[in-house]
Amino acid sequence: MSDKMELSTVERRRVILEELEKNKQVKMTDLFGLFEVSKVTLRKDLQYLESRNLLIRSRGGAMLPVKVADDLSVKQRMVLNLEQKKAIAKSAASLIKEGDTIIIDSGTSLMQLACLLPKMQNLTVITNALDIALKLSEYNHLKIIVPGGVFRQNSSSLVGTLAADNFRMFRADKYFVSADGITEEGVFTSNLEEGQLAKMILSNAKENILLVDSSKFNRMGIINYSSLEKFNIVITDKNIPREYQKLLSNLDIKVIISDRE
């Protein structure tokens, strides 16, 4: 006789959340061994719970949502919502034209964008993210500018007064940036220096483009670095809350929905 549990959908999702509370993360293989349902059904459960910001899907399972105030390292952020980030980056890359001068902020979504630029023949990229600059250095024909600053290990970026002073000299066609949280009050990050730098750069680009997966909506952070009105385009996934899609539309901000393939 099978030891798997036969539960209603509501009860099964409650058990999944209980397992998350106990272990901080769950694996699909463990859940499949626990319930008398298919893997397709379990994926739908995780999708549903993620859409309610109750968990974050990762490779092979799920984990508890990260508090916005938590200042995670690049390696820790890399596994969060990776497929959504790749799809969002693909939509962002489609906005870049030959001859553009662009600014790319630090972050894992923006690293995914950097990975999509090798085909560009005439592009100037300004970035304070050393990991992104190193990735871009693999491609021919790109002009890469790295303003100086104080190295911040968690984000592999250059920040501080020196970085801000250097960035004031540059103007760009497009600024690609991410966030740790978005509410009606504005756009948030978890680090003061990165927030101050982003706030300044927003005034130096013709178009400001925000790359965020849907888990970032209805979440606050330590630093509110911008109002929503500063952005021309928001690129996210299909689970963006309807009220935010309406809010952004009312502010004349273009919303691009990028679904995973």
- pLDDT tens digit sequence for 153-164: 877 889 999 999
Domain CATH code at residue 244: 3.40.50.1360
What integer pLDDT is reported at residue 6 of this predicted model? Answer: 76
Half-sphere exposure of 75 (CA within 13 A, CB side): 1
Token pair recorded at residue 113: 């964008």
Q: Is residue 152 assigned to a domain?
A: yes
pLDDT value at 5 more than 70: yes
Q: Is residue 25 assigned to a domain?
A: yes
**Looking at 43, 63, 83, which one is the last position of a domain?**
63
Same domain, 230 and 121: yes
Averaged over 21-49, what is the pLDDT?
A: 88
What integer pLDDT is reported at residue 215 of this predicted model? Answer: 83
Same domain, 224 and 156: yes
Domain count, the chain: 2
Same domain, 35 and 59: yes
Q: Is residue 220 assigned to a domain?
A: yes
Same domain, 224 and 130: yes
Q: Is residue 44 assigned to a domain?
A: yes
Q: Which residue has the higher pLDDT, 72 or 10?
A: 10
Averaged over 97-101, what is the pLDDT?
A: 96
Q: Is residue 145 assigned to a domain?
A: yes
Q: Is residue 149 assigned to a domain?
A: yes
What integer pLDDT is reported at residue 74 of this predicted model? Answer: 46
Averaged over 9-24, what is the pLDDT?
A: 86
What integer pLDDT is reported at residue 56 of this predicted model? Answer: 78
Same domain, 54 and 133: no
What integer pLDDT is reported at residue 3 of this predicted model? Answer: 62
Same domain, 202 and 244: yes
Same domain, 36 and 157: no
Q: Which residue has the higher pLDDT, 142 or 121?
A: 142
DSSP state, residue 2: -
Q: Is residue 187 assigned to a domain?
A: yes
Same domain, 103 and 225: yes
What integer pLDDT is reported at residue 76 of this predicted model? Answer: 45
The boundaries of the domain holding residue 17 are 9-63
**Looking at 38, 63, 88, which one is the last position of a domain?**
63
Mean pLDDT, the chain, rounded, equals: 87
Confidence of residue 120 (pLDDT cuts 50, 70, 90): confident
Averaged over 12-33, what is the pLDDT?
A: 87
Same domain, 201 and 93: yes
Same domain, 101 and 230: yes
Q: Where are the beta strands (DSSP E) in 120-185?
A: 123-127, 142-145, 150-152, 157-159, 172-177, 181-183
What residues contact 85, with CB distance under 8 A and at least 6 apart? 108, 109, 112, 211, 213
What integer pLDDT is reported at residue 80 of this predicted model? Answer: 56
Helices (H), the chain: 9-23, 28-34, 39-51, 74-78, 82-93, 108-114, 130-136, 161-167, 192-201, 242-250
Domain CATH code at residue 19: 1.10.10
Same domain, 215 and 106: yes
Q: What is the pLDDT of residues 40-83, one digit of tens each?
A: 999 999 989 888 878 878 777 887 765 544 444 444 454 456 78
**Share of residues in the chain with pLDDT > 90 (%):** 56
Averaged over 180-197, what is the pLDDT?
A: 90
What integer pLDDT is reported at residue 83 of this predicted model? Answer: 83
Same domain, 20 and 117: no
What integer pLDDT is reported at residue 81 of this predicted model? Answer: 63
Confidence of residue 246 (pLDDT cuts 50, 70, 90): very high
What integer pLDDT is reported at residue 58 of this predicted model? Answer: 72
What integer pLDDT is reported at residue 98 of this predicted model? Answer: 94
**Of the candidates 165, 180, 173, which has an alpha carbon nearest to the alpha carbon of residue 106?**
180
pLDDT value at 137 more than 90: yes
